[in-house]
Amino acid sequence: MTRKYFGTDGIRGLVGEFPIVPEFAMKLGWAAGKVLAASGQPSVVIGKDTRLSGYLLESALQSGLSAAGVDVRLLGPMPTPAVAHLARAFHASAGIVISASHNPYYDNGIKFFSSLGKKLPDDIELQIEDWLEKPMIIDKPDALGKTLRQEDARGRYIEFCKASFPYHLSLKGLKIVVDCAHGATYQVGPAVFRELGAKVITVACEPNGMNINDECGSTHPQALQAAVLINKADLGIAFDGDGDRIVMVDHTGSVVDGDEIIVMIARARQQDNPNLQGVVGTLMSNMGMEVALRDMGLDFVRAKVGDRYVMAELGKRGWTLGGESSGHIVCLDKTTTGDAIIAALQVLTAVVQSGQSLHELRQGMTKFPQQLINVKIAQKSDPMLNEEIAAAVAQAERELGARGRVLLRASGTEPLIRVMVEGEHQQQISRICQDLADQVRKALG
């Protein structure tokens, strides 16, 4: 069945435009509550990032849930993965996050976690959408849900994160710059690293409701790079607005992306666990990541772009490590979903145990040059169904051999074909990418 409201990462849009309006949020809370009521005595935890509109949506959701007889624990500003963890810790029926992740402040969204701290199953989302089409009927006054504010939520999550770092190790002696994107990690992120012994310098940790992700965080690491160099720090860590993505910066000011972080974690895992089988990346993962992992004797599988697809592939194979170039890293041996703070702690574990700097550890992967050209087309279509384009791609793949690849991907939101070529030699891939883009433009433009 086709979803009417839920996308790949919950429901998201511009605040004030349907469906990100209080009327819909209240109805959504009620509909979700009706579905959860099948579990007996339903309860949920609600967390949010630092957007001003979070207050609006939180109140509306709370009202709808109460009308359906659901008890609510309000967590306040908390990272998305914290809500997933606390849903499990409190044995709640679900966790709800009010956030638009790395989007600007004028966007917002609502997404759900199951009682197991994982993305809500498709069938549950469809049931919620079914209830959204029904008239909203409020329970009797004695059956309404109660609400309380969970004052110790922050401390609970901090301790959970610290538990993913080996107890016998310490971050003493490390100077770390932490960029929280004026978002949901602004309190818990710096606290975790300080409590483990690091000297922490903060960047973008003063949210005002409208500066989330504004020229800061994992999508804009320039401020972090400058702060690392100015403060002569050992490394820097940048989160996105809701705390499920990470990029890092080494002491030279160079950005370390999600692919490199995954390889470093995999190498450390392999030393501790010889039975580690493989890693899941995406169609956009750098070829250098694939080569590095295969040189380590690990299998590598590409999923479609999106953490939902990475999680599905990990579950199918029984593996524990995967993620995206953008910095959404999943360590299923530590938690149930992508968690930027926990991913950072896994890299810091490798730094402390090896005695090497982040700059030295990243040398285990050599990124392949990558060229990307967006080609506008007349209407959305699969480029590989065109015989001339398919033949051109096949010829390009033969020329690149096993040390390169070609990806033609239709945009999901606009009439574009993204032509991407990777290989060992920049001049070669630039030529091939331009030739393929010209072919696509000629056939479909």
Strands ordered across the beta sheet of 43-48 = 11-14, 107-114, 94-98, 43-48, 71-77, 147-149
H or E segment and range at residue 352: helix 340-354
Greatest CA separation for the chain: 72
In the residue annotation, 101 being an active-site residue is answered as yes
| Structure-token pair, residue 346 | 């896994």
369 near 117, Cβ under 8 Å? no
Length of the chain: 445
Q: Which residues of 153-186 are buried (b: 16+ CB within 10 A; e: fewer)?
A: bbebbbebbbebbeeeeebeebbbbbbbbbbbbb
| Structure-token pair, residue 46 | 């609600």
Question: How far are the Cα atoms of 256, 257, 309, 382, 394 from residue 302, in angstroms, in the given order?
Answer: 20, 17, 9, 19, 19
Strand-strand pairing, 199-203 and 147-149:
unpaired
303 near 285, Cβ under 8 Å? no
- What does the CA dihedral 308, 310, 316, 320 come to, rounded to 10 degrees? -120
| Structure-token pair, residue 392 | 């051109």
Query: What number of CA atoms fall less than 13 Å from residue 348's CA on the CB side?
Result: 30
11 near 19, Cβ under 8 Å? yes
Active-site pick, 93, 99, 101, 115: 101
Q: What CA–CA distance (Å, rounded) separates 330 from 337?
A: 6
Task: Please give the positions annotated as active site.
Answer: 101
